[in-house]
């Protein structure tokens, strides 16, 4: 299954959700993109995902306008929340994104 994760900036929740969706099934091809992509993924997001053994350090946010949306089987509109201000709040957000991504995958 091909899944497109769409957020506003593709710098926080989008890359996290895409990573978790890929982890849930190797049969899934997952791409994340933003409506107004940021220059880079936030460094705190990179640190938070390293705790889950996911390396986002080389990830470059993408523009959804450059993606052929019709090529995907499902689109996950992931809410793009502000980057957390502490590791503690970041962990809560990361765990929420992980759970929401799992629930999305169960519905499709």
pLDDT at residue 83, as a whole number: 79
| CB contact set of 58 (below 8 Å; sequence gap of 6+) | none
Q: Give per-residue pLDDT as tens, 77-90.
A: 987 677 788 999 99
Percent of the chain with pLDDT over 70: 99
Under 8 Å CB-to-CB from 59, ≥6 apart: which residues? 15, 41
If one counts every other C-beta atom within 10 angstroms of the C-beta of residue 63, the result is: 12
Do residues 3 and 74 make contact, with C-beta atoms less than 8 angstroms apart?
yes
pLDDT, tens digit, 9 for 90 and up, residues 24-56? 887 789 999 999 999 999 899 999 999 999 999
Using a cut of 0.95, tell me whether the model's pTM lies above it: no
Q: What are 84-88's contacts with CB under 8 Å, separation 24+?
A: 84/44, 84/48, 87/44, 87/47, 87/48
> What's the number of domains the chain is made of?
1
Q: Whole domain around residue 26: which residue ranges?
A: 2-107
CATH code: domain of residue 15? 3.40.50.2300
| Beta-bridge partner residues of 4 | 31, 75
Structure letter (DSSP) for residue 94: H
The confidence score (pLDDT) of residue 102 equals 93
């Amino acid at each position: 299954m091909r899944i497109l994760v769409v957020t506003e900036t593709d710098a926080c929740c989008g890359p996290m959700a895409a990573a978790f969706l890929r982890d849930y099934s190797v049969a899934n091809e997952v791409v994340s993109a933003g409506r107004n992509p940021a220059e880079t993924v936030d460094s705190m997001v990179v640190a938070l995902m390293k705790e889950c053994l996911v390396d986002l350090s080389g990830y470059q946010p993408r523009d959804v306008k450059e993606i052929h949306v019709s090529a995907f089987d499902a689109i996950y509109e992931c809410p793009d929340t502000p980057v957390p201000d502490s590791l503690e709040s970041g962990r809560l957000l990361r765990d929420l994104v992980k759970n929401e991504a799992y629930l999305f995958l169960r519905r499709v």
